Amino acid sequence: MNGTNEQQQGTMKCFHSGPSGCGKTTLLRCCLGRLNFNSGVVLTLGRPPNTAGHGVPGAMVGYMPQETALYDQFTISETLNYFGTIFRLRGQALEDRKTFLIDLLRLPHKGSLIKNLRIWEYLLGFAKGGNTTIILTTHYIEEARQADIVGLMRNGKLLSESSPQALMDLHQTPTLEEVFLKLCMADTEDDENHMGDAGNHDGLQTAFTCESDTTGLLNDDKLGTGNPPPPYNGNDVMSSQVHVEYEKPPFRWLDFFPSLLNLWALIVKDLIKMVRTPGGLAFQFLIPVLEVCLFCLCVGVPPKNLPMAVVNNDQPPFLFPHLSERYLTYLSNETITKKYVASYTEAYDNAKNGDYWGIIHFEKNYSRALVNRFLTDATDNSTLDSSLIYINLDMSNQQIALSLQQELLTSYEDFLHDLLIQYDTNPELGKIPVYIDDPIFGSADDTFTDFMAPGVVLTIVFFLAVGLSALTFVTERKEGLLDRSWVAGVTPSEVLIAHVCTQCLIMLVQMTSVIIFIFVVFKVPLLGNVFLIVLLTALQGLCGMAFGLCISAVCDNEVSAVQVALGSFYPIMLLSGIIWPIQGIPGPLYYISVALPQTYASETIRSVSLRGWGITHPQVYLGFVVTIAWNVVLLVLSEILLRLRK
């Protein structure tokens, strides 16, 4: 800020003229502690902004930004309640102030929604519906975005004229302010040189000072009233520091703790925003139920109606049992659809064409060879070969191929068992000499759904929580809403606590519905303590929320926030042992996998639900330890990022 010195108390200094970007708002933000500066000092009410216990930013100053920066979903009364509360008004004083402002500004009924109070919508509707052309002039360039055509002027000269979006696209800038700045810089060589001397945008500024008998916000001891300082030189920053003595406020522990009044206002604000979007709220409650139902109904269920070609060349002697046809009756008609084909060559060609998932081929003397194999001593190589059933499977889809293989083998065991009993032979003769005893944990009927269910529960709750919070600060920062709160003295920790408290309500409903549908409706096995599963799932939801807050704190726009949130979904899911055991992950990725928040947590829920283990088992409590550690790290990181971006 070139040529800007302190203003004495009792005067009002108006930086009233000059285009957007010339430094008017920058100076005010420095006075409020919203921006850091390279050199010099600013005292507001006798102390630097952001001094603990000073109240600047806070209730000691008022600030009106150029943007509207109001919550569209709020009513007039709710808006005044929120801002009045964070500015330390309460009770009758707040009500009196609300009444005064509503009367002063001639606002409609206090229950009117902010989004319905749109002068621009009225003007646009009047222009389009009434065959009328409206010409507006404004010094606030961004306000002109809503017009159909924008003309940018400087010194009586029209620099450019087009639609707002066309101007921004042409100059490759996100705002009209930057478009105007580029046009001004290109207008004359004198302007370019002046801007180079003054730094950044100050070459566009013209200012005048008017004095009145109002009380200023700045310190009453003058720092300097002489000539303006020389142009800023980055190399002279250290030598140009100004040292000013000021009275420090008394130390109070309460200054380092969140304000209950601010927390109350922020929580009420977030609840109102939540209630005012009933469609979004209903979607957030229904989507976890839908996802659980789709998972349980579509994943892990054996495939059905799979066509297989049958080439049956078996020709048993007269009155000899047709064993090949008997075996085919043991195959499940629900799983396999049998298609009889005359020759193996034809069946193979059709399978190569994608008509069949496999081929079942019986040799010419299959029935006689099978009887000789098990009931006589005539077991030469020819008999052994002829008693085989030849199977060709399409392994391009491994799950279907494995399902067919299991069905074919299980059916053959049943068929051979009954055949040996029919011929008064011990049925154990037809079994392989390996006995699979009862499982240590689980049952032989457990499905792939049972394996994936614990990880799916955590994934749904975790990423729904990410979605709840990933855009929280992005939208409020973009619309200037966060800036209003920071100026009122709201701290990042208060904003974080309020968001976590309100979003936890939604997360708890989502978590409850997921657990009920998984373990009650679809009857996924649950052998252990359900409280451990509920507690860990809640902590995972909080972890997802903290991750979303980190994304929201670091991203500048909705697109980048959504890309980060969606981009993290597959890596976390693939590396966390949800789809495939982590024991199959290669070495370097394995160590990344075990450090992720959902890896140990998935094993914990799997151990509780399928093994019945308690909290004392290492594989159970490790999931809690890792999840809590991630919660702490992500919440602290969110706090740091918010303070840095504040």
The per-residue pLDDT for 2 is 53
**pLDDT bucket at 329, cuts 50 / 70 / 90:** very high
The burial class, CB within 10 Å (0-12 / 13-18 / 19+), for 427 is middle
Least confident of 134-138, 288-292, 322-326, 505-509: 134-138
Alpha-carbon distance 80 to 95, whole Å?
Answer: 9
The mean pLDDT of 628-642, rounded to a whole number, is 93
Residue 238 pLDDT > 50: no
Of 540 and 12, the one with more pLDDT: 540
Numbered ranges of CATH 3.40.1710.10 in the chain: 306-430
So what's the pLDDT on residue 6?
A: 55
For residue 520, the 8-state DSSP code is: I
Neighbours of 107 (CB within 10 A): 15
**For all residues of the chain together, what is the average pLDDT?**
82
Cα 345 from Cα 313, distance rounded (Å)? 13
With a CB cutoff of 8 Å and minimum separation 6, the contacts of 478 are: 556, 557, 558
Q: What are the Cα distances from residue 401, in Å, to 77, 299, 358, 391, 396? A: 65, 16, 8, 11, 8
Average pLDDT for residues 465-469, to the nearest whole number? 89
- The least confident of 255-264, 381-390, 512-521 is 255-264
Whether residue 604 is predicted with pLDDT greater than 50 in this model: the reply is yes
608 vs 594: CA distance, rounded Å: 19
Digit-coded pLDDT (tens) for 12-64: 455 444 555 567 777 778 888 877 777 777 788 777 887 777 778 877 788 77
Per-residue b or e along 17-50, where b marks 16 or more CB atoms closer than 10 Å to that residue's CB = ebbbbbbbbbbbbbbbbbeeeebbebbbbbbbbe
For residue 601, pLDDT beyond 60: yes
- The distance between the two most distant Cα atoms of the chain, rounded to a whole number of Å, is 124
Sign of CA dihedral 247, 252, 255, 260: negative
162-208 per-position pLDDT tens digit: 888 888 888 888 888 888 888 888 876 545 555 455 444 443 333 33
Least confident of 56-60, 192-196, 209-213, 572-576: 209-213
pLDDT exceeding 70 applies to what percent of the chain?
A: 85
> Measured between alpha carbons, how far is 588 from 595 in angstroms, rounded to an integer?
12
CATH code for the structural domain at 306-430 = 3.40.1710.10
